Amino acid sequence: MTIETRQAIDPRHARTFDTAQLRAEFLIEQPFVPGEINLVYSHYDRMIVGGAVPSAGDLVLDSARETGTPGFLDRREAVIVNIGETGTVRTGSGPHELNHRDMLYVGLGDGPLTFSGAAARFYILSAPAHRHFDTRLVTIDAAKRVDLGAAATSNDRSIFQFVHPDVMESCQLVAGMTTLHGGSVWNTMPAHVHDRRSEAYLYFDLPEDARVFHMMGEPSETRHLVVKNEQAVLSPPWSIHSGAGTASYTFIWAMAGDNVDYKDVDMVEIGDLQ
């Protein structure tokens, strides 16, 4: 298992970054490594983001020095998403089979985590938790679906809310998935920020020769990251998080912070972006 620590970056400091520095601080270039658990420990709301690919046998996430606790989930909750073929995640309370695009919420203390499935690809999200909620599997069919946008504005998309107050309870993790329909490429535009929460994005189902331009930065000092399939982005509270792709794609969004109010955002008018 590999865990990399990323420090929180002040927006005034981020304004000075070149492309290489932006990518080093905010882009997770290879979360999915065959036969490994590969994680990033972020100082934005202590979120942990990464992947597990049990291609050669079971992988176990039991403890991590970065959490300062004997067990990984002793003071944390987690969300596991399978973006590959069917696999199994065993928690302290038992095994859970995840099909493609299913999400598993794992409550505080329900570790260790064992990942299995030769063709499974597990995306891992975790944040500190203050109370226990039961571990729960939410399938793509059980998620709440919200259709937004239109083909005329190139943002016809479906939002699937999994770990979300309208579906289930959690401490501070909120997670879901957005799919762009054919011919649409824009997500989350008009843009917004939410200074009370940090966020992470994983882009997938993107053709290998396609890219997403992930928009970030302060509204008056925007930047971008060029992201390819199965790469993730850490989104700080002060940053917008919008994007446009050279082809349609799907992304997993997750947030952690002061509340679980999905609509608690500060909108930014398109005319105010610079």
Known binding positions for Zn(2+): 192, 194, 199, 241
Q: Which of 136, 128, 126 shows the shortest CA–CA distance to 105?
A: 136
Q: Which residues are annotated as a binding site?
A: 192, 194, 199, 241
CB 178 within 8 A of CB 159: yes
